[in-house]
Amino acid sequence: MNPDVWLAAVIGAAIGAAIVAIAMRRKQRKEIISSTLVPHRTRQLLSVLQSGAVIVRRDRRAAFVNNPAAAIGVARPDGALLPAIADLAEQAWERGEAVEEEIAVKRGVLGVTSQVHVRVVPLDDDLVLAVVNDHTEARIAEQSRREFAVNVSHELKTPVGALSLLAESIEEGADDEHMVRSFAGKMRKEARRLTKLIQEIIEISRLQGGESVLDHENVHIAGVIAEAIDGASLTAESKNITLTADVKADPMVMGDRDLLLMALRNLVDNAVHYSDPGKRVTVSCKTDDGAVSVAVVDQGIGIDTKDQERIFERFFRTDPARSRDSGGTGLGLSIVKHVALQHAGTVEVWSQRGVGSTFTLRLQEHRVDPDTQGEK
Ligand code: ADP
């Protein structure tokens, strides 16, 4: 063999052996860290916990780290430990009792901060057990609940304030029949808006409540589309908007018909509200590989790209005055999103300012075998 090739082979083999030796030493070190102080059974037990669990040694390193703890970012499998956890461990030894605290943990390269609850319990003179739970999601849910309560009271104040002003005006102008009629009409409009707002607040609270609100039945989507169009046809007519269905199939979905109708009705109502007179709104339905897509297409005012992500948030409106004018509550799309989620579906928007919008509701098709009447 050529001496150069020999040399290259020998060097290659030596490098390979060195890499293997280093990897084995590392693995052995990791094994030693986790196995010397913490018995196998205990490690098995801690491994199946959903909470993060870390066994901390006197030298401020971890003798054992389960996967959730590593994922939360409080310790690494090689024993490196977040200083805040080591400090808590020292406190627990000093006091001889359990210590708990909320700590902020920066995660990953993006440095996202999580709020983590840690409870540290001394096991003996050498080891403490730290149980770690990430409360970030619970906090976000709590914050969202608080914001919702604040928003609801703010939203309710507007129509109630308007009603009280209108009542005052009627009192003052009681002799002017024309004025009384005009204000009474406005009061009726505000009262209608208030009723809709209250209904939608109840609906969204129910949908967000976590517990499933689904009434499971086979729902013919073509029927739901026809009913949604029927419900919006008077408003469309009054605005000279052509409202049509383009339904090529009648797929079925397993779900709650009333909720699906409400979601589609919200989309069709919006399409009509946010379109100028003379335009066209079409609701189409197609199936594709087990999915049902219902699209509501309008030629309306469109939505700026920057707002498209936010329109599904509760009470978000791109133009609050126009929304209020049309009796909008700012909750319609949020309801659509939650109805889709409850049916394991999605809702997406395509839109361009001045061109129009397309909202697509995607749901799972429920196929029934006509011979057996069973599910396919
Ligand atoms: P609203 O009761 O205000 O209509 P929604 O939750 O239904 O509340 O919609 C949120 C916002 O999204 C609306 O205020 C409006 O700015 C925008 N939007 C919804 N649908 C359309 C649409 N088809 N065309 C243009 N803008 C729309």
Residue 159, pLDDT score: 87
Within the chain, strands assigned E span 52-57, 62-65, 99-107, 112-122, 127-134, 217-220, 242-247, 252-255, 280-288, 291-298, 346-352, 356-364
CA neighbor of 311 nearest in space, from 334, 345, 342, 281: 334
Q: Per-residue pLDDT averaged across 278-305, rounded?
A: 95
Q: Which atom of ligand 1 is nearest to the CA of 356?
A: 24
Pocket test for ligand 1, best of 193, 323, 326, 337 (most atoms within 8 A of CB): 323
33 pLDDT more than 50: no
Could you give the C-alpha distances from 50 to 15, 67, 212, in angstroms and in order? 41, 9, 24
**Which residue's CA is minimally distant from atom 11 of ligand 1?**
317
340: CA distance to ligand 1 center in Å?
17
Determine the 3-state secondary structure of 263 from DSSP: helix
Instruction: Tell how far the Cα of 267 is from the centroid of ligand 1, in angstroms.
Output: 9
- Report CA(69)–ligand 1 centroid distance (Å): 42
pTM score above 0.95: no
195 DSSP 8-state letter: H
Whole-number pLDDT of residue 140: 77
Q: Which of 282, 317, 335, 338 to mutate to test the pocket of ligand 1 (most atoms within 8 A of CB)?
A: 317
Whether 298 shows a pLDDT value over 90: the answer reads: yes
Q: Model confidence over 112-126: pLDDT tens digits?
A: 788 899 999 999 988
Alpha carbon 337 to chain centroid, angstroms: 9
**CA-to-CA distance for 269 and 261, rounded, in angstroms?**
12
pLDDT band at 146 (very low <50, low <70, confident <90, very high): confident
Which pLDDT value is given to residue 249? 83
Q: How confident is the model at residue 276, as a pLDDT?
A: 95
The CA–CA distances, whole Å, from 56 to 29, 50, 105, 135 equal 16, 18, 17, 22
The CA 17 to ligand 1 mean position distance, Å, reads 65
Partners of residue 356 on adjacent β-strands: 352
Measured in Å, residue 360 CA sits from the centre of ligand 1 at 14
Least confident of 85-89, 110-114, 316-320, 371-375: 371-375
Give the pLDDT score at 36.
64
For position 71, what pLDDT does the model report? 86
Q: How far apart are CA 245 and CA 297, in angstroms?
A: 10
* Cα(135) to centroid(ligand 1), Å: 33
Q: How far is the CA of 330 from the centre of ligand 1 (A)?
A: 7
Q: 23-37, 57-71, 318-332 — which one is most confidently predicted on average?
A: 57-71
Mean pLDDT of 338-363: 94
- 3-state DSSP assignment of residue 124: coil
Among candidate residues 196, 170, 152, 98, the one with its CA nearest the CA of residue 314? 152
Distance from the alpha carbon of residue 54 to the mean position of ligand 1, in angstroms: 49
Tokens 């030298």 correspond to what residue?
59
Whether 373 has a pLDDT exceeding 50, the answer reads yes
Tokens representing 24 are 């084995």
pLDDT value at 32 more than 50: no
55: left (phi over 0), alpha (psi -120 to 50) or beta: beta
Tell me the mean pLDDT in the region 95-105. Answer: 93
More confident position, 238 or 108:
238
With bands split at pLDDT 50, 70 and 90, how would you rate the model's confidence at 334? very high
Residues 249, 285: contact at Cβ < 8 Å?
Answer: yes
Mean pLDDT, range 105-109, rounded to an integer = 72
Q: What are phi and psi of 35, to 5 degrees?
A: -100, -25
Atom of ligand 1 nearest to the CA of 314: 6
| CA nearest ligand 1 atom 21, residue | 270
Distance CA 104, CA 186 (A): 52
Q: Is the pLDDT of residue 225 over 90?
A: yes
- Pocket-testing residue among 192, 195, 274, 316, ligand 1, by greatest number of atoms within 8 A of Cβ: 274
Between 139 and 30, whose confidence is greater? Answer: 139
Give 372 or 118, the one with higher predicted confidence.
118
Atom in ligand 1 nearest the alpha carbon of residue 300: 24
- The band of 141, judged by pLDDT with boundaries at 50, 70 and 90, is confident
**Residue 8's pLDDT band (boundaries 50, 70, 90)?**
low
Taking the C-alpha atoms of residue 355 and residue 303, their distance in angstroms, rounded to an integer, is: 9
**pLDDT value at position 263?**
96
Which of 100-109, 172-181, 188-197, 321-330 shows the lowest per-residue confidence on average (mean pLDDT)? 321-330
Percent of the chain having pLDDT more than 70? Answer: 86
Ligand 1, atom 7, lies closest to the CA of 332
CB 255 within 8 A of CB 219: yes
Residue nearest to atom 13 of ligand 1 (CA): 317
Give the confidence band of 60 by pLDDT, cuts at 50, 70, 90.
very high
- Average pLDDT over the chain, rounded to an integer: 86
User: Average of pLDDT values for 35-61?
Assistant: 88
Contact 133, 62 (CB under 8 A): no
Q: Determine how β-strand 242-247 pairs with β-strand 280-288.
A: parallel
Q: For the residues 261-283, what does the mean pLDDT come to? A: 96
Give residue 78's pLDDT band: very low, low, confident or very high (50, 70, 90): confident
Per-residue pLDDT tens digits for 171-208: 998 889 999 999 999 999 999 989 989 999 998 888 87
Distance 254 CA to ligand 1 centre (A): 27
Q: How far, in Å, is the centroid of ligand 1 from the Cα of 299?
A: 14
**Pocket lining for ligand 1, CB < 6 angstroms:** 266, 270-271, 274, 298, 300-303, 311, 316-319, 323, 328-334, 357
Q: Which atom of ligand 1 is nearest to the CA of 312?
A: 6
